[in-house]
Amino acid sequence: QERYDAGAIEQKWQAHWEKTGAFKAEMDPSRPKYYLLEMFPYPSGRIHMGHVRNYSIGDVVARFKALQGFNVLHPMGWDAFGMPAENAAIQHGTHPARWTWENIDNMRSQLRKMGLSYDWSREFATCDEEYYRWEQLIFLRMLERGLAYKKSSTVNWCPTCRTVLANEQVEDDCCWRCDSEVEGKELEQWFFKITDYAQELLDEIDNLKGWPDSVLTMQRNWIGRSVGCEINFPLEGSEKSIRVFTTRQDTLYGATFMSLAPEHPMAAELVTAEHEQEVAAFIAKVRKQDKNKRTADDYEKEGVFTGSYCVNPVSGRRMPVFLANFVLMDYGTGAVMAVPTHDQRDFEFARKYDLPLVVVIQPEGDALVPEQMEAAWTGSGRLVNSDRFDGLDNEAAKEQIADYLTAEGIGKATVNFRLRDWGVSRQRYWGTPIPIIYCDDCGTVPVPEKDLPVVLPQDVELTGEGGSPLARTESFTAVPCPQCGKTARRETDTFDTFVESSWYFARYASPREQEAPLDKEQVKYWLPVDQYIGGVEHAVMHLLYARFFTKILRDLKFVEGGFNEPFTNLLTQGMVCMETRSCPEHGWLYPEQVADGKCSQCGQPAVVGRTEKMSKSKMNVVDPDHLIARYGADTARLFSLFAAPPEKDLEWNEQGVEGCYRFLNRVWRAVFDHVELLRQAGEPEDLPGAPRDLRRQTHRTIKKVTEDVDGRFHFNTAIAAIMELVNAIYAFKQAQQAPGVMKEALETVVRLLNPFVPHIAAELWCCLGHDEELNSLGWPAWDEAALVEEQKQIVVQVNGKVRGKVLVAADADQASVEQAALKEDNVARFLEGKTVRKVIVVPGRLVNVVAN
């Protein structure tokens, strides 16, 4: 008998699949397609258990769908631009390109060892010129349509390093390299007009039935539609007015002061000479505060009086104009009418600066008294102190006041979105060059399409100082102006890497297309992605940008045929977690640094800490390579699928892995123990008792696994059912009498295991004497008839009246049915003292006892 040698089997089948092009996808309009995609990895160096889990999940679905007869597209590639490559270059002196390609080679070979059913012929990396050139084209077309534009915006600036920092490079408001305090700096940057699509992106969320609700909610909140009014407040002693955005126009009569963002363009002209110094100091202070923190509820609310006043347009009240740190310039109009009685931030602000409170919403019960309020009343109520609107319910008042403002020309109803345009400029080297040229005479000139791609130069000097190395690379920046021919300068910013990941899924349909970003025919056939799988950390940005780009591609006519939303179904898988362990002397410990619960360096007991997401920083990681070398890819796959449902966190444990390995060995032995017998066996015999029971379990397992996997991803329960079937096979003692039943059961195990552990399944199939490949066989179907319970319920009547029910074997003969009926407790009671004259048996249904 052969031993289960995972390594040898896996190599053999991986080579076989590669040679036969087993997973190569070809457009075939006669067959239904299924496009399965896992979020492509960033080539950071090595794959980790999170990848193993993500790709194992995807691979089950891809293989299952293929077995079901779908024409499956399952591609893989690399999200290859980004900062880590640049950082590695600065720290270790390797070129980002070299670092990236080496990592890709590494990770590709790691992934290959997992036996994933990818169509590798479609592989690409986003740093391929052949990919990003099309991104540059899309950008130029967006520019033509006004969907890309340039405006000034604030970036993180390190005054010491004299460089722009990405958000990830700012730690506690300080530069990650030199620790000096980061400043905001205004720079001209490129933006994509995603706000044009805000309403559509919001509306179509309702159609994304195959997405988790939590993700949809996050997208809704991110888009953040608010319905309210814009209202003009005339400035005292001026023709001008300040415009505010409010969702609470019902509180308008309670507005007692005005709060502007410190960045508000009118701020300067509003400041009176007397307040100039104080205001300047305040603006400088706020500039250093983090925008995201400034608006948080628990952030200290601060402001400064400008010296100017405006007028409440309905109450006529004189309102002092303040600058306040919690008002942001890039939301609404950058100005807030402050209603301290009904807005908590305004309340705190008013208490701090001693500003007046006027109650305008009166809740049911005790009347609010401004002097006694401890917090703003933000609930509902009836209007008071509001002139003609007094007594109205505040929801009704919102509408009526909006109408009134429109009629009086004071304001109007508006909708406001939280979503901002997408800033895509990055002052980085390792990214897609933005195809723009600046000419002193002609201004901003797009690179002509015929001159694409603008290739990212390789010979740059990466020092990490003084901004983007592209800006210092003369051979790149100096370029003749396409319009006048005079020497001009190239744009040296590159795109945010989220741009590449916003359309890669479409490029997989025609990855080698030479004439356009996408081949329309291919896209029409393959897209949308039927099932997308990835981490929930991408719930907002990546998924929203991908949805936005799909609409851009549609509107720019790069695709046709109603391709409108990129991902029909979305599965967000949980994290892979593991216990952390540390030594009082040596800090965090890798699992292999702990032996018998002790630190292997000093022998002190290792302290078991919290179970957390696997991460190198806490050393609670398992290297997939080691795992595969020790147990094989099939065990690694099986464990990541069996240990938890995909959307839940998975806790790593060695015993679980061992258990999966033992199970595969058990399957292996079950086959080899019977291999001779099975080669001769024929169709399953129809024998009562144990053979029929095993048959029934076989078909029930097919049904359960099919239903658990198909669209539900309950892999853990599916695998558990297969394990039970294997137990039943071991318990079956009639293999000699019913070899056909045994054969059916064992072959079913192999076929059901195929999507989960494809190597061992293929090998066992072969060993069972089949020439035909397992993958060409299709997914097994269950036989309804075989599912039927062996026992049947029979109704028992005495003289035509129902007196009881009995369970009998479905194929029981008349005599035994009759006996069982007469013995039934209740029936027996009715027959007491009577003589049975006749027993009529209607097979499978009913027994009538005639007695008197």
The continuous run of DSSP H or E covering 809 comes out as: strand 801-809
- Comparing CB distances to ligand ANZ, the nearer of 140 and 413 is 413
Among 247, 463, 799, 826, binds ligand ANZ (CB under 6 A): 247
Pairing of strands 607-613, 576-583: antiparallel
> Which range, of 244-252, 347-355, 380-388, 468-476, touches ligand ANZ by CB under 6 A?
244-252
Query: In whole angstroms, how close is the CB of 180 to ligand ANZ at the nearest point?
Result: 29
Tokens encoding 709: 């996997």
- Comparing CB distances to ligand ANZ, the nearer of 245 and 715 is 245
Cβ neighbours of residue 451 closer than 8 Å, sequence gap 6 or more: 435, 482
Work out whether 175 is an interface residue with Zn ion (CB under 5 A). Answer: yes
Among 190, 245, 549, 732, binds ligand ANZ (CB under 6 A): 245
Work out whether 331 is an interface residue with ligand ANZ (CB under 6 A). Answer: yes
Query: In whole angstroms, how close is the CB of 379 to ligand ANZ at the nearest point?
Result: 10
Cβ neighbours of residue 729 closer than 8 Å, sequence gap 6 or more: 670, 694, 742, 745, 746, 749
Query: In whole angstroms, how close is the CB of 178 to Zn ion at the nearest point?
Result: 3
- Compute φ and ψ for 322, nearest 5 degrees: -110, 160
Question: Do 561 and 544 meet the contact criterion of CB atoms below 8 Å apart?
Answer: no
Question: Do 192 and 421 meet the contact criterion of CB atoms below 8 Å apart?
Answer: yes
Work out whether 381 is an interface residue with ligand ANZ (CB under 6 A). Answer: no
Work out whether 462 is an interface residue with ligand ANZ (CB under 6 A). Answer: no
Using alpha carbons only, what angle is made at residue 47 by residues 45 and 53, rounded to the nearest 5 degrees? 160
- Comparing CB distances to Zn ion, the nearer of 86 and 263 is 86
> Which range, of 15-23, 168-176, 254-262, 805-813, touches Zn ion by CB under 5 A?
168-176
Work out whether 248 is an interface residue with ligand ANZ (CB under 6 A). Answer: yes
Tokens encoding 737: 């009498």
> By three-state DSSP, how is residue 641 classified?
helix
Work out whether 463 is an interface residue with Zn ion (CB under 5 A). Answer: no
Site map (CB under 6 A) of ligand ANZ, residues 396-425, x = contact: --------------------x---------
- Comparing CB distances to ligand ANZ, the nearer of 299 and 331 is 331
Spell out a b/e string for 122-160, using b for 16 or more CB atoms within 10 Å of the CB, else e.
Answer: bbbbbbeeebbbbbbbbbbbbbeeebbeeeebbbbbbee
Work out whether 185 is an interface residue with Zn ion (CB under 5 A). Answer: no
Work out whether 202 is an interface residue with ligand ANZ (CB under 6 A). Answer: no
Among 117, 153, 232, 246, binds ligand ANZ (CB under 6 A): 246
Work out whether 794 is an interface residue with ligand ANZ (CB under 6 A). Answer: no
- Comparing CB distances to Zn ion, the nearer of 168 and 658 is 168
- Comparing CB distances to ligand ANZ, the nearer of 339 and 664 is 339
Query: In whole angstroms, how close is the CB of 298 to ligand ANZ at the nearest point?
Result: 15
Work out whether 153 is an interface residue with ligand ANZ (CB under 6 A). Answer: no
**Closest C-alpha among 756, 776, 762, 777 to residue 62:** 756
Count the site residues for ligand ANZ by CB under 6 A.
19
Pairwise CA distance, residues 112 & 408, whole Å: 70
Question: Do 200 and 180 meet the contact criterion of CB atoms below 8 Å apart?
Answer: no
Among 336, 436, 774, 827, binds ligand ANZ (CB under 6 A): 336
- 65 in a labelled binding site: no
> Which range, of 154-162, 325-333, 672-680, 800-808, touches ligand ANZ by CB under 6 A?
325-333
Pairwise CA distance, residues 512 & 355, whole Å: 66
Pairing of strands 174-175, 801-809: unpaired
Among 337, 410, 543, 641, binds ligand ANZ (CB under 6 A): 337
Query: In whole angstroms, how close is the CB of 160 to Zn ion at the nearest point?
Result: 5
Q: Which ranges in 472-540 belong to alpha helices (H)?
A: 474-477, 504-507, 520-526
Pairwise CA distance, residues 327 & 732, whole Å: 74
Question: Do 660 and 638 meet the contact criterion of CB atoms below 8 Å apart?
Answer: yes
Work out whether 382 is an interface residue with ligand ANZ (CB under 6 A). Answer: no
- Comparing CB distances to ligand ANZ, the nearer of 326 and 505 is 326
Query: In whole angstroms, how close is the CB of 431 to Zn ion at the nearest point?
Result: 21
Work out whether 232 is an interface residue with ligand ANZ (CB under 6 A). Answer: no
> By three-state DSSP, how is residue 578 classified?
strand
Query: In whole angstroms, how close is the CB of 536 to ligand ANZ at the nearest point?
Result: 24
The CA dihedral of 333, 334, 338, 339, to the nearest 10 degrees, is 50
Work out whether 327 is an interface residue with ligand ANZ (CB under 6 A). Answer: yes
Pairwise CA distance, residues 704 & 395, whole Å: 52
> By three-state DSSP, how is residue 738 classified?
coil
Pairwise CA distance, residues 102 & 95, whole Å: 11
**Residue whose token pair is 């319009």:** 483
Work out whether 177 is an interface residue with Zn ion (CB under 5 A). Answer: yes
Site map (CB under 5 A) of Zn ion, residues 130-159, x = contact: ----------------------------x-
Pairwise CA distance, residues 765 & 744, whole Å: 12
Q: What is the DSSP string of 288-337?
A: TS-HHHHTSTTSPP-EEEEEEEEE-TTT--EEEEEEETT--TTSTTSEEE
Work out whether 303 is an interface residue with ligand ANZ (CB under 6 A). Answer: no
**Residue whose token pair is 């094989």:** 632
The CA dihedral of 89, 93, 98, 101, to the nearest 10 degrees, is -50
> Which range, of 332-340, 445-453, 498-506, 630-638, touches ligand ANZ by CB under 6 A?
332-340
Query: In whole angstroms, how close is the CB of 471 to Zn ion at the nearest point?
Result: 17
Query: In whole angstroms, how close is the CB of 339 to ligand ANZ at the nearest point?
Result: 4
Terminal-residue alpha carbon distance, the chain: 68
Work out whether 201 is an interface residue with Zn ion (CB under 5 A). Answer: no
Work out whether 251 is an interface residue with ligand ANZ (CB under 6 A). Answer: yes
Binds 328, which of Zn ion, ligand ANZ, none (CB < 5 to 8 A, cut-off by type)?
Answer: ligand ANZ
Work out whether 268 is an interface residue with Zn ion (CB under 5 A). Answer: no
Q: What is the DSSP string of 46-61?
A: S--HHHHHHHHHHHHH
Among 8, 15, 178, 595, binds Zn ion (CB under 5 A): 178
Query: In whole angstroms, how close is the CB of 174 to Zn ion at the nearest point?
Result: 8
Binds 793, which of ligand ANZ, Zn ion, none (CB < 5 to 8 A, cut-off by type)?
Answer: none
Pairing of strands 33-38, 529-535: parallel
Work out whether 207 is an interface residue with ligand ANZ (CB under 6 A). Answer: no
Work out whether 301 is an interface residue with ligand ANZ (CB under 6 A). Answer: no
- Compute φ and ψ for 598, nearest 5 degrees: -120, 150
Query: In whole angstroms, how close is the CB of 231 to ligand ANZ at the nearest point?
Result: 9
**Closest residue to Zn ion in the complex (CB):** 175
Strand partners, 599: 594
Work out whether 281 is an interface residue with Zn ion (CB under 5 A). Answer: no
Using alpha carbons only, what angle is made at residue 462 by residues 456 and 467, rounded to the nearest 5 degrees? 85
> Which range, of 127-135, 193-201, 279-287, 334-342, touches ligand ANZ by CB under 6 A?
334-342
Pairing of strands 257-260, 318-324: parallel
- Comparing CB distances to ligand ANZ, the nearer of 9 and 401 is 401
The continuous run of DSSP H or E covering 221 comes out as: helix 213-223
> Which range, of 134-142, 185-193, 337-345, 624-632, touches ligand ANZ by CB under 6 A?
337-345
Pairwise CA distance, residues 246 & 250, whole Å: 9
Work out whether 590 is an interface residue with ligand ANZ (CB under 6 A). Answer: no
Pairwise CA distance, residues 611 & 579, whole Å: 4
Residue ranges of the annotated binding site are 616
Residues that bind ligand ANZ (CB under 6 A): 226, 245-248, 251, 261, 326-328, 331-332, 334, 336-337, 339, 342-343, 416
Instruction: Please give the annotated binding residues for ATP, written as ranges.
Output: 616
| Interface contacts to Zn ion, rule CB under 5 A | 158, 160-161, 175, 177-178
